[in-house]
Amino acid sequence: MNRADPEGAIAAAARTCSNWGRWGADDVLGTLNFLTEDKRRAGAALIRRGTSFSLSQRFDVNGPQKGWRRRTNPVHTMLDTGTDAAAGLQGFPHGIGGADDVIAMPLQCSTQWDGLGHIFDHGKAWNGRDAATTVTSEGDLVTGIEHMAAHVAGRAVLLDVGRVLGGGELPDGFAITETHLAATARAHGVDVGRGDIVLVRTGQLTRAKRDGWGDYAGGPAPGLSFTTASWLHRTEIAAITTDTWGFEVRPNEFDHAFQPLHQVVIPHIGLLVGEMWDLDALAEDCAADGVHEFWLTAAPLPITGAVGSPVNPVAVK
């Protein structure tokens, strides 16, 4: 990999890892096509204890965002309260009262999915579509994340790279390679393959929860190496998530680049990517019982035309 030539590396990876046309010209699901009904039934059979884990951070004003790209933390506002009810201000009969609230937030400010309309390569969106006519001011007119709402449920695998290689936490700037992923899978005794949802824990969020957000949102981070593009394509996984802000290693591995792995995996592979997932409680349980595969449901909100969505993933063992 020539650090001085991100353009060439991205173009080469896009050619060798392309899934354009694989599921037809009208496809809106990308790699979720690998998560079939058979795969989903097999995933459901992994539930033994019934123990569940929420893998979401809390959505509140104390989140990780600092305003980059106008991303802010959620603003939660009460529209009606118990105070209003007690004061008789709501106008309801026979003593009934209630509370209502509203939230305003960027869709990718915390635990979330990147939709297929989130990233383009030289003006091309997923499946070779024209980005200018696919995603407009009216939203993603073709691959809006609402199309995925019924599909993200199946077998998931936790690869706790932070625990296996870093004693719990990988340092910022650590590039996770295919070799690292394979070694972690062997250590956990799991296979990774077609239709799986892969959760990669680096331990960076653990550090942020302990030491403060710092540059968690957009700064240096451990993450996947650009060289994993071929692995992400070859394994035919349905989706991948990390506990970091940007999924791939930061700083990126080229001298002058910004999120080059995104530029391959979303518009060319059609891979569903999740970020800022809280994997700590699940990782502790997996380490305790030695089981790193489980059922996962992680439906995006069916927000019409959205290119990303908050999510509360639930793993069940």
209-250 pLDDT, tens per residue? 999 999 999 999 999 999 999 999 999 999 999 999 999 999
Q: Which run of H or E residues covers position 212?
A: none
Q: Name the nearest CA neighbour of 262 among 238, 234, 229.
A: 229
- Dihedral sign computed on CA atoms, order 234, 225, 149, 160: positive
All structural domains of the chain with their residue ranges: 6-69+106-316, 74-103
Mean pLDDT (the chain, rounded)? 98
Q: What pTM was estimated for this model as a whole?
A: 0.97
3-state secondary structure (DSSP) of residue 130:
strand
Q: How sure is the predictor about 290, in pLDDT bands with cuts at 50, 70 and 90?
A: very high
Say if residues 314 and 296 touch (Cβ distance below 8 Å).
yes
CATH number of the structural domain 6-69+106-316: 3.50.30.50
* pLDDT in the model for residue 168: 96
**Nearest Cα to Cα of residue 145 among 293, 312, 310:** 310
Please write the tens of the pLDDT for every residue from 264-287: 999 999 999 999 999 999 999 999
pLDDT of residue 69: 86
Beta strands 52-54 and 100-104: pairing type? unpaired
